[in-house]
Amino acid sequence: MAEMVMVESKGDLPLVIIRPTMVTSTLKDPFPGWLEGVRTVDGVLVSYAKGRLKCLAHKPEVVLNLIPADIVVNAIIGAMGMEFAEQHLDLIYHLSSSMKNPIKVSDIHDFMFTFFTKHPWRDRHGKEVQVAKLTNFSSMACFHVYMAIRFQLPLKILGLLNAILGRKWEANYVALHRKFKSGMQVIDLYKPYLFFEGIFDDTNLEDLRKRVSELGFCENGDQLNMNTRSINWEDYIMDVHIPGLVQFAMK
């Protein structure tokens, strides 16, 4: 809706529409792994690292539309330059990796298990949080049945006993209830993405990358990297993104 209003009211002003998908930490600039706060897929990573996430409802083959922040910035700069050089293109750029270099939900699962097994998170008491492979469910119905039987029912029983016995296990009950609620919130938040099978056409981004190179906007193509094929996802997630998340966002 906002894009339609902009197109209709822009007059003679140049207009570029940028549609980034799930923006993650920087691949390279200003330095690898830079981010601010917990966003997009990071909520799953943080909850898993802290032992709050034990299971996940998703289709393993679903592709996550991740895009590092510096590639987004480079594309914005490149698109502005092209609009200036070849005016009134009025193009829409999808900034996504799903078409040319997809990463699956199952890949993220494997990477975060490997990383936090080797480098466990320490809680506020300094104790290492041990992680295990997540229990996966291919539908939300199966997930809710599992959660009700495995966690919600025992939690209700504990709450009832706690009330009968004069709040004897109040601290344990509150902690478990908070952990259960946090896990459910993560699943509800990411449900649209964990079952989303759409692929975004980034043809305009690829054309932009080639055109910027042809016009010589940068002497070295690496200075304005917009090539999603250049991302090695295992190296990026394991050596760049998660370490950056731990350093700059996790508390």
Nearest to 112 by CA among 249, 251, 247, 236: 236
**pTM attached to this predicted model:** 0.82
Residues 66, 97 contacting (CB under 8 angstroms): yes
Nearest to 242 by CA among 20, 22, 21, 46: 46
Tens-digit pLDDT profile for residues 211-229: 887 776 665 555 788 999 9
Integer Cα distance of 79 and 17 in angstroms: 9
**pLDDT above 70 (res 238):** yes
Mean pLDDT calculated for residue range 77-92: 77
Q: How many CB atoms lie within 10 A of CB 78?
A: 23
The three-point CA angle 125-130-136 to 5° equals: 135
Tens-digit pLDDT profile for residues 163-189: 887 887 788 888 888 888 877 887 787
Which H/E stretch holds residue 110?
Answer: helix 105-118
Q: How many CB atoms lie within 10 A of CB 36?
A: 9
Cβ neighbors of 88 (< 8 A, separation 6 or more) are 14
Q: In the chain, what are the domain boundaries?
A: 2-239
Q: What pLDDT was estimated at residue 87?
A: 65
Least confident piece of the model among 38-47, 166-175, 202-211: 166-175
Tens-digit pLDDT profile for residues 6-26: 777 777 777 888 999 999 999
Tell whether omega for the bond before 102 is within 30 degrees of 0, i.e. cis: no
The three-point CA angle 102-250-35 to 5° equals: 55
